Amino acid sequence: MADQITDLSAVELRERLVRGDISAQEVTEAFLQRIHALDPRLHAFLYVDTEGAIAQARQVDEQVLTGARRSGRELPPLAGIPVAVKDNICTKGIPTTCASRILEGWRPPYDATVVERLRRAGAIILGKTNLDEFAMGSSTENSGFGPTRNPWDLTRVPGGSSGGSAAAVAAGMAPLALGSDTGGSIRQPAALCGIVGLKPTYGRVSRYGLVAFASSLDQIGPMARTVTDCAILLNVIAGNDPRDSTSANLPCPDFTRALQVEVRGLRIGIPRECFVEGLQPEVREAVLQAARLFSDLGAVCEEISLPHLDYALPTYYLIAPAEASSNLARYDGVQYGYRAKAGDLYTMYARTRREGFGAEVKRRIMLGTYALSAGYYEAFYLKALQVRTLIKQDFDVAFQDHDLILMPTSPTVAFPLGEKVTDPLQMYLNDIFTIPVSLAGLPGISVPCGFANGLPIGLQLVGRPFDEETVLRAAFTFEQHTEYWKARPVTSDTVTRDKVKE
Ligand code: GLN
């Protein structure tokens, strides 16, 4: 029974919960059991809130489900549905480390707005998922607490930085998860783990309580095995929040209404700059095959150009580190988490930061400080802001006569652990197709679109600002006409079997 429960989507779980076939406690225990069986090998979680989750589930059973069944009242959207939360999102009283030693032991005194909304919707928070330290990376190998493994092949990375959330969903340890995306951290791990991940438009979801990496880019978004589940989770977390002044004051549609099988007449642009050297041939073929499917279904697919695409990576690696260097100044050993022992204040600051931060975080702080320093500011940071505008304008032009842009999510499938970790430039290249979308602040989704040597491939669909609906509709249509999303990683079952044998 436990295995069956963990294979269900949030929609299917809800049907059973509403009917009273299962209780929130049974659902929660099934996922917890699977976490305890698989996670010693996968390491998707940094913290599992076993007791808290069961207590929440009991409360939902007693106060929400029973009452609603008796009175016929509509249930809150996620009543009794477990969710895994990336560990850079604040959870009151539950450790939040950003996978950094510098935050070890810190328990936030408040919930992020998205977490508050999850709780209000009746969701059960299972625990906190692994990530690259402060969300800086593309493989989850930069975690200060050890890497996560890809459920499709335990010798490979799950992508990053939301690798823990992606692996948890792919392995059936959670039906839903939250990730954060600054330059690709929801979409790229979703692609590498064969699940669906959506980065909403910048401003669509509140960043209050998301530990800041690069504030002009950071955005929280849903990860799940189906497009429908992503839309349901987006419904819960999206919308204006007075506590985040960059959250958009726009009405939020019911995103599940966008889930129609219909793309006739949709104009889809395919940027020629994406199909160049470095793109794995199987990825290229799968993405072009997806475009053919959209054409067959009545969409109009045309080649377009994003002329400044080549500059996206260097632009991002000035802007993101610049913002990070400022945001990470607050970790001084006084206010949060780790504090090194020292005889005087200055030495304490320095030692805390030297011992608390990992190599990639230090690299970014140094790059960002340099780019912002007097004499270099105009040449680097200001120039990067100007190029960011040009990249945004490329998209504006493309969206004048296209409704959607179709491109790969990541240039390759999941790579072996250790392969790129010592070569930052190779690692940065993973996000070559997701970063431009982030710089422009646009909504983008990754959906499973094929396999190469048994490893998942992701298709990226990008929409106009605040037009998540078209993105979701196209993704849903694609999903309904393909079977890739139904495949499950065999390794996760092997892990269970091994465990049973032990
Ligand atoms: N991989 C990119 C980086 O290292 C993007 C990370 C992210 O989206 N959080 O910055």
User: Which residues does the annotation mark as catalytic?
Assistant: 86, 161, 185
Residue type (1 letter), 76 = P
Percent pLDDT > 70 in the chain is: 97
Distance CA 307, CA 8 (A): 43
> Is the shortest distance between the CB of 219 and ligand 1 below 6 Å?
no
Residue 134 Cα, ligand 1 centroid: separation in angstroms?
A: 9
- Edge-to-edge strand list for the sheet holding 82-86: 45-48, 124-129, 82-86, 176-181, 219-224, 196-199, 444-452, 455-463, 404-408, 267-271, 300-304
Closest C-alpha to 292, from 256, 268, 272: 268
Mean pLDDT of 144-148: 98
> To test ligand 1's pocket by mutation, which of 131, 141, 182, 219 has the most ligand atoms within 8 angstroms of CB?
182
Q: Which domains does the chain have, with CATH numbers?
A: 2-269+401-493 (3.90.1300.10)
Q: Decide if 251 contacts 465 (C-beta within 8 A).
A: no
pLDDT digits (tens, 9 = 90+) for 329-354: 999 999 888 999 999 999 999 999 99
Q: Which of 129, 133, 136 to mutate to test the pocket of ligand 1 (most atoms within 8 A of CB)?
A: 136
Atom of ligand 1 nearest to the CA of 160: 1
CB of residue 181 inside a 6 A radius of ligand 1:
yes
* Residues written for the chain: 502
Residue 213 alpha carbon, nearest atom of ligand 1 = 9
Instruction: Give 44-94 pLDDT, tens digit per residue.
Output: 999 999 999 999 999 999 988 888 878 878 899 999 999 999 999 999 999
Calculate how far, in angstroms, residue 385's C-alpha sits from the geometric centre of ligand 1.
Answer: 18
Q: What is the pTM of this model?
A: 0.96
CA distances from 159 to 92, 131, 287, 470 (A): 27, 9, 19, 26
Residues 272-323: pLDDT tens digits? Answer: 999 988 899 999 999 999 999 999 999 999 999 999 999 999 999 999 999 9
Ligand 1 atom nearest the C-alpha of 181 is: 8
Task: Provide the 10 A C-beta neighbour count for residue 49.
Answer: 21
